[in-house]
Amino acid sequence: MKFLRNYLNKIKPNFEEGGKLHAFRSLFDGFETFLFVPDDTSKSGVNIHDAIDSKRIMSLVVISLLPALLVGMYNIGLQNALAAGTADTTGWFDMFVFGLLVTLPKIVVSYVVGLGIEFTVAQWKNEEIHEGFLVSGILIPMIVPVGCPLWILALATAFAVIFAKEVFGGTGMNIVNVALIARAFIFFAYPSVISGDGVWVATESILGFGSDVTVDGYTCATALQHVANGVEIIGASGAQLSVMDMLFGFMPGSIGETSVIAIAIGAVILLWTGVASWKTMFSVFVGGIAMCFLFQYTLPENVVAQVPFWQHLILGGFCFGAVFMATDPVTSARTEVGKYIYGFGIGAMAILIRVLNPGYPEGMMLAILLMNVVAPFIDYCVVQTNISARAKRLTKKN
């Protein structure tokens, strides 16, 4: 590491004002600060110095996402083999590599497009590169369907970075979750890619890995689509899914959203490091469970309403949204009481959309985006309530 530090110090003058590579100053600065904590400190005023900065926080979030990403890669290969009827003869390594080869291009496209826009804007504005896309860049591929074309993913990523982030001032200034805006763009602009009975796509073998099939691909409905249709939940093989399949994530669905166990591991990392708020995370599940019980007693003839609450929690993107999306510190509520209200609203709204709008069985995306918009108002109400309460206490004392 010392050699790398010395090398960066040696070439740094080339990227500073007047250097021959000044046009890439923002790119160098972003790379340097990603590898090493900046040694610049404030020279005046009262400041709190900490070893962790926003780049380190983003790195921890990426690490917490890895279990769900790795399981998702294996699941892609598994679903492909099940659809082709070769699961018994295909090894787990072949399944994983197949999923890796399907997922890797999506990750590359997401980062190239998103970071390319951020580098361009940072250089144009003569600012340092914002680090927020370190997380958004890996979240976007994890929440889109497996068969989403790369050109649509590129369009969605560009739209999200420009209109949900940069126009508001960049990292820390956006009012809605960037990754979810990318998914929403696909949902409204290309609905056939992300909704309906054919959102899961299993394709033929890639570079010798995967199933040796004779057709271009297979499509089938996700578990939530089966719930909305009022039929038993089946996988790519045509067999009914077990509870363990749902927990481990061995079922059709978006790349990173299927494995509850992998998501739980990520939640532990986020909570243990203090990156995410347990209040928000816990309240999402409370809100979801409460709404499930409410609908079970008030809508006895509604098929989706009668689904057990635990199935609502482990199917679709509920757990993923509660752990990685709802807890986004930029777009979520920031007051302590507001975090409870914000999380509860997301959970309740997600189930509300699932039950009352069976045409769109996954309500987590819209629930989080709606509560993103409401979050500042929640914080405002909480702050004003605290101010009024303190004013009353002061009046009584006087």
Residues 101 and 218 grouped into a single domain: yes
Distance CA 106, CA 210 (A): 18
User: According to the model, what pLDDT value does residue 156 have?
Assistant: 96
| Residue whose C-alpha is closest to residue 196's, from 342, 43, 359 | 359
pLDDT in tens, 6-37: 777 777 777 777 777 666 666 666 666 666 66
Quick one: pLDDT band at residue 241, thresholds 50, 70, 90?
Answer: confident
Beta strands in the chain (DSSP E): 200-203, 217-220
Look up the domain containing 329 and give its range.
Answer: 276-398
Q: Quote the tokens at residue 18.
A: 């007047």
pLDDT in tens, 72-97: 999 998 888 887 788 888 888 999 99
Of the residues 259, 292, 308, the one at which a domain ends: 259
Alpha helix stretches (DSSP H) within 205-356? 223-229, 243-248, 260-272, 278-298, 309-314, 318-320, 336-356
Residue 44 lies inside a defined structural domain of this protein: no
Residues 105 and 253 grouped into a single domain: yes
Quick one: pLDDT band at residue 271, thresholds 50, 70, 90?
Answer: very high
Residues forming beta bridges with residue 240, ordered by sequence position: 234
User: According to the model, what pLDDT value does residue 215 have?
Assistant: 44
pLDDT in tens, 287-339: 999 999 999 999 988 888 888 899 889 888 899 999 999 999 899 999 999 99
Whole-structure pTM value: 0.84
- Quote the number of domains for the chain: 3
Residues forming beta bridges with residue 203, ordered by sequence position: 217
Residue 271 lies inside a defined structural domain of this protein: no
Q: How far is CA 206 from the centre of its chain?
A: 27
Query: Is residue 201 helix, strand or coil?
Result: strand
Mean pLDDT confidence for 359-367? 83
Lowest mean pLDDT among 44-58, 117-131, 161-175, 205-219: 205-219
Q: 161 with 178: CB under 8 angstroms? A: yes
**218 DSSP 8-state letter:** E
Residue 164 lies inside a defined structural domain of this protein: yes
Residues 159 and 220 grouped into a single domain: yes
pLDDT in tens, 180-204: 999 999 999 998 887 655 455 555 5
Residues 180 and 304 grouped into a single domain: no
| Residue whose C-alpha is closest to residue 200's, from 371, 331, 362 | 362
Q: Which residue has the higher pLDDT, 50 or 179?
A: 179
At 46, phi and psi to the nearest 5? -95, 125
Residue 269 lies inside a defined structural domain of this protein: no
Residues 185 and 313 grouped into a single domain: no
Q: What is the largest CA-CA distance in the chain?
A: 84
Residue 384 lies inside a defined structural domain of this protein: yes
